[in-house]
Amino acid sequence: MNTISIAGQSFKAPSSWEELTYKQLLMWVKIISKDITLDEAFSVAVVVFYGIPKKLFFSLNPVQKFELKETLTFLYGENKLVTWLVPFFQIRFRKYTGPENRLSNSTIKEFRHTEMYYNAYNRNKNPKFLDLLIATLYRPKAKVLQGNDLREPFSEIRIRSKASSMRNLSNPLRSAILFNYEGCRNFIFKKYPMIFKPGAKKSDAIPDMEDLIKTVAGAKFGNFNETETTGIYLFLDDLKDKIEEYERNQK
């Protein structure tokens, strides 16, 4: 945690993604959505994150302002937000619960669909794909709990029926959920570079992980439908081991 002192007053702000709060995430997505320069964005971030009165901030000299912005350098780089900061929300008296940190309680089937919706949304910014992404991540509480997931089991039919209601969420909240997902996604892609190869050739088609699931299906996780319900990290660890074994045998 950053702690600074200005004119005898003490102010605190996060020094890493791990220290970011839900309110600060909402502040940040609001800031970066504005039509302002990066320097202006960080000036605003310094004021709102530290809670510095504007009059006091603008009384500082350029060097002092620069040094304050440097304390928030983690915001400059890659999105590494893996702590899930939006645990739930409510729409028309119904509570929707989100995933755990790093999407750790999600299945590979869920991740397959969130990736399709994420890539489709990034391609054309059609809000219906963001609705589907949010509806996949956030689901009502299960009647019978399974493992460490409070959410009802993933069902594509149920997701599509509830997706339109996600438009009732505020734009900052929708952006915060998307930003949070991107941070977890970046973590997963970095953890498994042999599966999600950086710089891989892109095609016009929306990427689908169906073939990856078929590669693993039929072994210890069961048939395709059974394999889809495997936890994301358990699945990816197994696939990583298979790839590494194959590469060793090719030498």
The string of pLDDT tens digits covering residues 21-46 is: 999 999 999 999 999 998 999 999 99
Q: Is the pLDDT of residue 199 over 70?
A: no
pLDDT at 97 over 70: yes
Average pLDDT along the chain:
93
Would you give the distance in Å from CA 238 to the centre of its chain? 23
Which of these, 17, 20, 31, lies nearest to 175 by C-alpha position? Answer: 31
Cβ contact 108:125 at 8 Å: no
Q: Are 43 and 51 in contact (CB under 8 A)?
A: no
Region 171-180: mean pLDDT is 98
Q: Tell me, what's the pLDDT at 221? A: 92
Provide the pLDDT for residue 121. Answer: 98
Q: Which burial class, exposed, middle or buried, applies to 119 when counting CB atoms under 10 A from its CB (0-12, 13-18, 19+)?
A: middle
Least trusted range by pLDDT, from 1-10, 65-74, 139-148, 183-192: 139-148
* Contact present, 88 and 98 (Cβ < 8 Å): yes
Q: What are the structural domain ranges in the chain?
A: 2-75, 88-247
Angle at 205 between CA 180 and CA 223, to 5 degrees: 75
> Residue 48 and residue 55: Cα distance in Å, rounded?
13
Is this structure's pTM higher than 0.75?
yes
Q: What is the pLDDT of residue 201?
A: 57
Query: Is residue 42 a contact partner of residue 72, using CB atoms and an 8 Å limit?
Result: yes
Kindly state the average pLDDT of the residues 127-153. 93
Max distance between CA atoms of the chain, in angstroms, equals: 67
Percent pLDDT > 90 in the chain is 82
3-7, 105-109, 197-201 — which is least confidently predicted? Answer: 197-201
Alpha carbon 191 to its chain's center:
15
